[in-house]
A and B are shown apart, each in its own frame.
Chain A
Amino acid sequence: MHAEMLVLQFSRKVVDQPIIYRLVKDFNLEFNLLKAAINPQQEGVIVMELRGHPQDFRRGLKFLRDAGVQVKRVAGEVRRNDELCYQCGACTAVCPTGALYIERPAMSVAFAAERCSACELCCPVCPARAMEVKLNRNAI
């Protein structure tokens, strides 16, 4: 399973085409939409997490580019600074992928980096500001 956060930009020419539908149907990919908007110039932008088999993921990305969609990979990676984290659990309220979760009965807060989609929602919510965004070199 491979997952990545993507920013897609649609030109006026392609904004009315069912591109995401094809991405799901033809490439068996799962998407989680975080933002979608069309500006007054009729250009669209979508921020979403795309998830699937690595091979499907690559083919899907090629399809998007061939269709005229500009694809930008979000090069962020969220890490936890364990020196700063005081293990409260506030972040678990907002984490959409369950990467941050409470281990019971210890009530310690665990961070499964492989499940993190780098949405960064936890960063401002952490009272100790222990969640840091770093450049993900693998994604560049």
Chain B
Amino acid sequence: MGNYQVNKTYQEINEKIKKGQAVVVTAEEIIDLVRRKGEAEAARTVDVVTTGTFSPMCSSGAILNFGHSKPPIKASRAWLNNVPAYAGLAAVDVYLGATEPATDDPLNKVYPGEFKYGGGHVIQDLVAGKTVHLVAESYGTDCYPNKKLEKDLTLKDFLNAVLFNPRNCYQNYNCAVNLSNRTIYTYMGPLRPRAGNANFCTAGQLSPLFNDPYYRTIGIGTRIFLGGGVGYVCFPGTQHNPGKLRGENGVPLSPAGTLMVLGDLKKMSPRFLVGASLLGYGCSLAVGLGIPIPMLNEEMAHFCAVTDEQLLAPIIDYGHDYPAATGRVLGHVSYAQLKTGKMELDGQEIPTVPLSSLVRAREVAQILKEWITQGQFLLGEPVDLLPGSDEIHCVPTASRDS
């Protein structure tokens, strides 16, 4: 334990939560509090700061167990509402990925493809209580003789349904422009030629990993708000790269840390798991995710008081540099600037466009705040912290972090 004026433990904070005495504020509300009272006093007063984000997160999906039929089947191929699910697991376990399009989707054959229905949409339909049509095929075995199964199910009919997202919640993300001469369709939305628009996709000062830049409290076992229900950080996400260059405030200047998360899909809501269709790119799932940050000491209050002015996104050209993996960064722009609606690049004024919903990110942080205030949600102390910059060897991604 460092030399802090304030020293709180998870146990102490959880005791206060159980008694309904915990003081909880959002990552936006703490900013003004720290400004007025200072970091130590803010850490003393506040017990938990809630964060939130809501945007398309492609590396998402669901592990579904559809239960044994009579006669039983060892599914080797499976579809839900005509969207293929991976069946290379045990007999009736499948993994449905968010970006998997329906089998009859024309993809980009008619460019730009619309990608109207995919895995993310199936997940939203499931949590909305809608019936989905399952088709499973098998080659048949002595113990599992059934070769074909078709049935209609709702989420309740599945034995287990777990949202399992290998990479969510990127710590920082690119600001995308297009310096080429034609409109391009990317996972960062349509980008008009000659830097006609600049798209960005984080919640800025409300975003979870911006408020705990060195992963001091967010680790394996952290209990979180996930898709409207309760989830957990279960591991560092894929491509987790804490070694990216950081600013003086410790916040990475490009996409860095990521989280692998999971939670019980049956308790989630279609308001916070929304199927997305990204024109010319593919299907996805917009995920609402919120993380509580315990005010263990004044350093955490310092981190949580970070503002949009101090958070910088790298500007990347998706017309040439990104697909060619040159790794070139055109510059940096603050989230405060991005949220004004315009920015400057080489003397040219460019409209800025958010892809991440700040409105719904605020809703996530607010709901999490209410859960904790009402004593329904306790903090999970990490059993292990995420790898920091000195502990992990990362393969460079040349800014391609999708």
Contacts and interface: CB of A to CB of B under 8 A. Distances in A.
A140 interface: no
Interface stretch (B82-90, B251-259, B271-279, B387-395): B271-279
A128 B275 CA distance: 7
B279 A128 contact: no
A87 B359 contact: yes
B276 A127 contact: yes
B274 A104 contact: no
B351 interface: yes
A47 B165 CA distance: 45
A108 B358 CA distance: 8
B189 A86 contact: no
A50 B18 CA distance: 64
A139 interface: no
A89 B276 contact: no
A124 B197 CA distance: 17
A64 B3 CA distance: 82
Given A93-B190, A128-B274, A87 B341 contact: no
Given A93-B197, A107-B354, A86 B339 contact: no
Given A94-B190, A124-B279, A125-B279, A89 B355 contact: yes
B339 A104 contact: yes
Contacts of A89: 353-355, 357
A128 B359 contact: no
Contacts of B46: none
A128 B190 contact: no
A127 B120 CA distance: 11
A93 B192 contact: yes
Contacts of B279: 124-125
A90 B341 contact: no
Q: Which of B55, B199, B275, B276 has the most CB of A within 10 A?
A: B276
A102 B341 contact: yes
Nearest to B361: A107
Contact of A104 (B56, B190, B340, B355): B340
A127 B286 contact: yes
Contacts of B341: 102, 104
Nearest to A84: B274
B116 interface: yes
Nearest to A126: B277
B286 A86 contact: yes
B278 A107 contact: no
Contacts of B8: none
A89 B114 CA distance: 18
Nearest to B120: A127
A102 B278 CA distance: 20
A109 B354 CA distance: 10
B303 interface: no
A102 B353 CA distance: 9
Nearest to B201: A88
B199 A93 contact: yes
A105 to B, nearest CB: 8
A125 B183 CA distance: 13
B286 A92 contact: no
Interface string B257-283: 000000000000000001111110000
A107 B277 contact: no
A97 to B, nearest CB: 14
B356 interface: yes
Interface in B309-347: 339-341
A112 to B, nearest CB: 16
B106 to A, nearest CB: 13
Q: Which of A86, A92, A105 has the most CB of B within 10 A?
A: A86
A1 interface: no
B5 to A, nearest CB: 33
B284 interface: yes
B54 interface: yes
A90 B112 CA distance: 16
Contacts of A90: 189, 199, 353-355
Contacts of B356: 88
A102 B338 CA distance: 12
A43 B199 CA distance: 40
Nearest to A121: B190
19 contacts: A87-B358, A87-B359, A88-B354, A89-B354, A90-B189, A90-B353, A92-B351, A92-B353, A93-B190, A93-B351, A93-B353, A102-B341, A104-B339, A104-B341, A107-B339, A107-B354, A124-B114, A124-B279, A127-B355
Interface of A: 86-90, 92-94, 102, 104-109, 124-125, 127-129
Interface of B: 54-56, 112, 114, 116, 189-190, 192, 197, 199, 274-279, 284, 286, 339-341, 351, 353-360
Closest CB pairs A-B (n = 5): A127-B276, A107-B358, A87-B359, A89-B354, A93-B353
